[in-house]
């Protein structure tokens, strides 16, 4: 017992100084002794006058009193009066004698909405079958590998005919083969952590250690991840450490005082999202949040976290009505938030250097993906919101005006290597009246598909990892609705079906050609051959692998005017072959006969020693690679 007491004291100390990063092993509900059905309940409520456990086992009556451990602010009890599967909450009495019920911040499972009681269930280690995947992941340089993410909302990818949700098991049965078939490397789930409001898509979280009960229990969620890994599909989950659900029976004023949130209401309240901001400078909150991240990565075997709303954690004035707020240095940076993010990434990568920490950050804050040791935030990827906004704005535009707005495409060349970027066409761009990707495209239906194919090819060729939201792979016309499944009926239409085939082919080419991903974050991976021809609204560049003779020529025509005898400069002489023509009739275009081989001539062009000509399709793109280089290339480097 003395050993257990010392361990408890050490855990409590580390939690309180912000250095306990697996605090889920200590706080919450845990099985103490299976043979005699003993469970422990432990919670941090530093300013409470009394804390009790109430449960469905006693019809929410006969509360079980907990004892406070010294000055740690932590309350605990061991009891045989609850059983596995029972529901429970904490009943807290504040210093003024007010009594209220709260969730368990460390609950591993919750009852289905609208209820929010946690379920008595110990998170024992399961038997995994993904050792081969984890070993291979640990041996790879993750940023030098193909990364093509299928982003989805589990509640609206597919539903049953009665509009009920698919379970985790049903998602595994249908989603995993679908993602595999169509060539994606990873699945990214909109926040899967427990939440009550469907319309929040999961971004107003309640359970930071619990997958939502909408689709099944914890073990079923882990089985889903295990099955993904067994077929070499990675899993990323969106995670929200900046703010939490506003409900008063959740984390807000947990012990009757500001506990998880800032003590100043002005900083605590997030008016833009109707939530509460975590106090990121508080030691215990750091232990809580970093433990949450570690739980999903370590215990649940996730391959990465996409950290939502990083800008909200970087700036004091990011929210509505907070203009003019400054720190003690006189600027608008949230110094506690910056320090927290640096600490988070330092801790995660110290134990798991092979996973992805992806920042959704919409400002020009510097060094988001630079190492903490050099003053960066320490993420290894960042969503390129500027590229996404400019690219969509360009493609939404009538082609007649594109030549006068060509800088929408070329401006990204100025900062493309400032960070390690993901290029996202995400869920955020196809909701709230923004229209689907397909619906954004100008012209009649044929030209909308042609624009979409060209834009997706441009994304595949541009340096950076890739992300596309569900439905974009076949050009769904309706924008996303969280309350219903995708318009799968679209696939009865020939154009939608061909677009899906096109996306599958594009994903295959991306995955199989190192030049499209091996040097995403190095200037050596991009050769700007002809990128400023605004007048013709065409563009060519070369994507380069680490091997000098392994590259892909990428040529784009952003207007519906065919360019015959269009000259393309290349570094080496020889034969080149067509990889992809976006106007191939098999993908919804009009070309029934394709130019498949190209032979260079010693005609220097756009800084290159050789060149060849192509017919560049109207509103289309070509991907071309060398197959037989004739001269001594060692003398041409």
Encode 63-121 in three state secondary structure: CEECEECCCCCEEEEEECCCCCCCEEEEEEECCCCCEEEECCCCCCCECCCCCCCEECC
* Alpha carbon separation from 619 to 453, 477, 615 (Å, rounded): 9, 19, 12
Give the model's pLDDT for residue 635.
44
pLDDT exceeds cutoff 70 at 633:
no
Flag whether 419 is in a domain.
no
**Which active-site residues does the annotation give?**
308, 360
Provide the number of structural domains found in the chain.
Answer: 2
pLDDT exceeds cutoff 60 at 503:
yes
pLDDT exceeds cutoff 50 at 338:
yes
Flag whether 540 is in a domain.
yes
Give the model's pLDDT for residue 422.
98
Instruction: Choose the final residue of a domain: 74, 97, 119.
Output: 119
| The two three-digit tokens of residue 91, written as one number | 């009943």
What is the per-residue DSSP string for 228-286? HHHTT-EEEEEE--SEEE--TTTTTTTTSS-SSB-SSHHHHEETTTTEEEB-TTSHHHH
- Segment 103-123 shows an average pLDDT of 93
Flag whether 50 is in a domain.
yes
Flag whether 547 is in a domain.
yes
Flag whether 16 is in a domain.
yes
Give the model's pLDDT for residue 8.
85
Is the N-terminal amide bond of 114 cis, ω within 30° of 0? Answer: yes
Alpha-carbon gap, residue 431 to 199, rounded angstroms: 11
Give the model's pLDDT for residue 99.
97
The residues that bridge with 40 in the sheet, in sequence order, are: 30, 78
Give the model's pLDDT for residue 123.
66
- Closest by CA to 395, choosing from 355, 454, 351, is 454
In the chain, the percentage of residues whose pLDDT exceeds 90 is 94
Give the model's pLDDT for residue 628.
92
Collapsing DSSP states into helix, strand and coil, what is residue 126? coil
pLDDT exceeds cutoff 50 at 286:
yes
- Segment 121-139 shows an average pLDDT of 90
Alpha-carbon gap, residue 293 to 296, rounded angstroms: 5
Flag whether 532 is in a domain.
yes
State pLDDT tens for residues 162-204. 999 999 999 999 999 999 999 999 999 999 999 999 989 999 9
Flag whether 316 is in a domain.
no
Q: pTM for the full model? A: 0.96
State pLDDT tens for residues 135-172. 999 999 999 999 999 999 999 999 999 999 999 999 99
Flag whether 78 is in a domain.
yes
Crossing angle for the helix pair 168-181 and 218-230, to the nearest 10 degrees: 20
CATH code, domain carrying 75: 2.60.40.10
Instruction: Choose the final residue of a domain: 76, 91, 119.
Output: 119
pLDDT exceeds cutoff 90 at 324:
no
State pLDDT tens for residues 30-70. 998 767 789 999 999 999 999 999 999 989 999 999 999 99
- Segment 334-339 shows an average pLDDT of 97
Compute how many other C-beta atoms are within 10 angstroms of the C-beta atom of residue 350: 9
- Domain of residue 54, residue span: 2-119
- pLDDT band at 2; cut points 50, 70, 90: low
Collapsing DSSP states into helix, strand and coil, what is residue 580? strand
Instruction: Choose the final residue of a domain: 91, 119, 147.
Output: 119
State pLDDT tens for residues 547-577. 999 999 999 999 999 999 999 999 999 999 9
State pLDDT tens for residues 515-537. 999 999 999 999 999 999 999 99
Crossing angle for the helix pair 283-294 and 2-16, to the nearest 10 degrees: 110
CATH code, domain carrying 585: 2.60.40.1180
């Amino acid at each position: 017992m003395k050993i257990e007491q010392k361990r408890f004291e050490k855990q409590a100390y580390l939690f309180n100084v912000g250095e306990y990063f697996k605090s889920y092993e200590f706080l919450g509900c845990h099985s103490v002794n299976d043979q005699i059905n003993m469970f422990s309940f432990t919670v941090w409520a530093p300013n409470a006058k009394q804390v009790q456990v109430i449960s469905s086992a006693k019809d929410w009556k006969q509360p079980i009193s907990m004892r406070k451990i010294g000055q740690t602010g932590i309350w605990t009890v061991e009891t045989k009066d609850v059983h596995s599967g029972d529901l429970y909450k904490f009943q807290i009495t504040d210093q003024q004698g007010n009594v209220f019920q709260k969730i368990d911040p460390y609950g591993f499972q919750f009852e289905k909405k609208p209820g929010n009681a946690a379920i008595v269930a110990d998170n024992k280690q399961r038997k995994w079958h993904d050792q081969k995947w984890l070993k291979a992941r640990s041996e790879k340089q993750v940023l030098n590998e193909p990364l093509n993410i299928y982003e989805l909302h589990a509640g609206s990818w597919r539903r049953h005919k009665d509009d009920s949700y698919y379970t985790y098991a049903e998602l595994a049965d249908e989603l995993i083969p679908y993602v595999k078939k169509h060539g994606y490397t990873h699945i990214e789930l909109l926040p899967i952590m427990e939440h009550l409001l469907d319309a929040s898509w999961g971004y107003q979280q309640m359970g930071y250690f619990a997958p939502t009960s909408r689709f099944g229990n914890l073990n079923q969620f882990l089985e889903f991840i295990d099955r993904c890994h067994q077929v070499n599909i990675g899993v990323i989950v969106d995670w929200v450490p900046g703010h939490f659900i506003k409900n008063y029976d959740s984390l807000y004023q947990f012990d009757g005082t500001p506990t998880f949130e800032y003590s100043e209401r002005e900083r605590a309240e997030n008016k833009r999202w109707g939530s509460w901001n975590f106090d990121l400078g508080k030691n215990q909150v750091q232990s809580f949040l970093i433990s949450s991240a570690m739980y999903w990565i370590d215990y649940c075997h996730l391959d990465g976290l996409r950290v939502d709303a990083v800008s909200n954690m970087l700036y004091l004035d990011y929210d509505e009505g907070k203009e003019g707020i400054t720190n003690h240095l006189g600027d608008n940076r949230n110094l506690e938030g910056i320090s927290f993010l640096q600490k988070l990434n330092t801790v995660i990568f110290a134990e798991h250097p092979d996973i992805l920490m992806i920042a959704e950050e919409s400002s020009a804050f510097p060094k988001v993906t630079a190492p903490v040791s050099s003053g960066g935030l320490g993420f290894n990827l960042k969503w390129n919101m500027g590229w996404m906004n400019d690219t969509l704005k360009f493609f939404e535009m009538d082609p007649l005006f594109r030549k006068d707005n060509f800088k929408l495409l070329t401006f990204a060349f100025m900062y493309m290597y400032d960070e390690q970027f993901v290029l996202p066409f995400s869920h955020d761009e196809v909701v709230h009246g923004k229209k689907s990707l397909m619906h954004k495209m100008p012209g009649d239906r044929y030209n909308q598909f042609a624009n979409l194919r060209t834009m997706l090819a441009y994304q595949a060729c541009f340096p950076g990892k890739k992300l596309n939201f569900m439905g974009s792979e076949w050009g769904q016309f309706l924008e996303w609705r969280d309350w219903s499944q995708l318009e799968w009926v679209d696939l009865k239409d020939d154009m939608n079906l061909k677009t899906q085939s096109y996306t599958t082919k594009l994903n295959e080419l991306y995955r199989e050609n190192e030049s499209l991903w091996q040097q995403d974050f190095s200037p050596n991976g991009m050769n700007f051959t002809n990128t400023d021809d605004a007048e013709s609204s065409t563009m060519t560049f070369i994507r380069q692998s680490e091997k000098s003779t392994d590259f892909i020529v990428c040529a784009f025509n952003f207007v519906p005017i065919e360019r015959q005898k269009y000259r393309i400069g290349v570094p080496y002489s020889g034969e080149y072959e067509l990889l992809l023509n976006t106007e191939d009739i098999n993908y919804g275009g009009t070309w029934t006969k394709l130019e498949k081989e190209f032979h260079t001539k010693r005609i220097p062009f756009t800084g290159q020693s050789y060149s060849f000509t192509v017919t560049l399709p109207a509103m289309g793109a070509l991907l071309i690679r060398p197959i037989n280089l004739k001269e001594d290339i060692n003398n041409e480097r």
